[in-house]
């Protein structure tokens, strides 16, 4: 991870030191057929606090964005996840106090299949261009997450105890980010990094997620409306999350309906394995967790609480992006972006309203 940030820092420096770099996505000078508009920019008396060096950008004929904005986002993603170091604790009394300590489950008893997470969120992102090439922003939102886990219990048994666990929960999100952008020849380049804390309803603590996006694109300015343009880009996203996850969930809610529909058969398979196939070591592990769980399923229809702890991570950290933005005018922008390459699939749509913000104090 440290090496990744070193590479990104180098990319930012190279971008900001390029000869044509001064502003955000519209950093390349407008072509000769827009010279009248460019000349008018050079005459702008920029009397606003942000961005710093904004006057210098206009003096060079560079059309920068309004410095402050409010963006509303809808984001959807589906990605594979890996699970390691899985531990369970079981509360047979259903009183919110885990009766058994968290116990690691041996790989000889349980493993995981294809696991995935699907999530969507709505969030608000206020931002400010501190300099013409540096943007700071906050993220505040709420969404929904569905994690599907394939559990392969008694995996070496002739009658394995397999089932799917689906956990649905709401998630509150808050965080911050920084974006660096500038022009390199005829194209623009941006590097975006954000840090968010995501608090699912069923987890004890928020999970930290780090995202780094690198994008390269080109803006096409309308001939008769130089304040309006269309941008297209390609890019890549790197995502990693805090690996340790712990929480508690009702056993009845954690196991899919197809298991309950065949409950008697599943319970019989367990006792057949326990009495005829399990080794003494496996029985010791099973008696700590699996046997109480099976009893709760058989006798109480899952009316018990299961506490869990695991290391959860994305199956692939990187995925590829394509995007499109239409700047209607200097106040309004609409954007869409899709994650189309790699295990992670995603879709983003947003509307951005921008304004000039604070005026400088008069010298008189």
Q: What are phi and psi of 361, to 5 degrees?
A: -70, 140
Q: Is 3 helix (H, G, I), strand (E, B) or coil?
A: helix
Q: Any idea which of 23-32, 180-189, 201-210 has the lowest mean pLDDT?
A: 23-32
Is 361 part of any domain? no
Domain of 141 in residue numbering reads as 2-355
Residue 30 lies in a domain: yes
Supply the pLDDT for residue 85.
84
Q: For residue 303, give the DSSP letter.
A: -
Between residues 152 and 76, the one the model is more confident about: 76
321 pLDDT more than 70: yes
Per-residue burial over 87-108, b = 16 or more CB atoms within 10 Å of its CB, e = otherwise: bbbbbbeeeeebeeebbebeee
The answer to whether residue 245 sits within a structural domain is: yes
Q: Is residue 142 part of a domain?
A: yes
Cα–Cα distance list, 189 to 25, 133, 167, 181 (Å)? 8, 10, 39, 6
Name the most confidently modeled range: 217-226, 275-284, 332-341: 332-341
Give pLDDT, residue 22. Answer: 38
How far is residue 185 CA from its own chain's centroid? 31
For the whole model, what pTM was predicted?
0.82
Kindly state whether residue 360 falls inside one of the protein's structural domains: no
Q: What is the tally of structural domains in the chain?
A: 1
């Amino acid at each position: 991870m440290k090496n990744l940030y070193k590479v990104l820092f180098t990319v930012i420096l190279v971008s900001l030191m390029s000869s044509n770099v001064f502003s955000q996505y519209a950093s390349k000078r407008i072509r000769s057929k827009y010279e009248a508009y460019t000349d008018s920019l050079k005459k702008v008396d920029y009397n606003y606090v942000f961005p710093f060096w904004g006057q210098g950008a206009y003096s060079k004929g560079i059309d920068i964005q309004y410095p402050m904005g409010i963006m509303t986002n809808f984001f959807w993603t589906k990605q594979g996840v890996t699970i390691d170091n899985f531990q369970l604790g079981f509360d047979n009394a259903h009183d919110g106090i885990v009766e058994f300590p968290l116990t690691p489950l041996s790989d000889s008893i349980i493993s995981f299949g294809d696991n995935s997470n699907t999530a969507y969120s709505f969030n608000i992102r206020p931002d400010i261009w501190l300099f013409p090439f540096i943007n700071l922003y906050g993220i505040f939102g709420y969404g929904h997450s569905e994690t599907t886990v394939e559990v392969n219990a008694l995996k070496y048994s002739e009658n394995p105890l397999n089932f799917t666990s689906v956990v649905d929960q709401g998630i509150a999100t808050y965080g911050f980010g920084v974006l660096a952008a500038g022009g390199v020849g005829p194209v623009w380049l941006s590097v975006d990094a954000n840090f968010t804390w995501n608090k699912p309803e069923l987890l004890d603590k928020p999970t930290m997620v780090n995202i780094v996006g690198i994008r390269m694109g080109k803006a096409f300015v309308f001939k008769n409306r130089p304040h309006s343009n269309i941008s297209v880009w390609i890019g890549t996203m790197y995502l990693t999350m805090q690996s340790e996850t712990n929480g508690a969930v009702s056993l009845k809610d954690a196991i899919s309906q197809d298991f309950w529909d065949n409950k008697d058969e599943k319970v019989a398979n367990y006792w057949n394995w326990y009495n005829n196939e399990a080794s003494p070591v496996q029985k010791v592990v099973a008696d700590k967790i699996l046997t109480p769980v099976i009893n709760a399923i058989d006798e109480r229809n899952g009316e018990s609480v299961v506490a869990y702890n695991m290391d959860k991570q994305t199956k692939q950290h990187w995925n590829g992006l394509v995007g499109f933005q239409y700047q209607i005018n200097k106040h309004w922008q609409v954007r869409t972006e899709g994650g189309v390459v790699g295990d992670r699939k995603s879709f983003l749509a947003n509307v951005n309203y921008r304004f000039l913000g604070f005026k400088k104090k008069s010298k008189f």
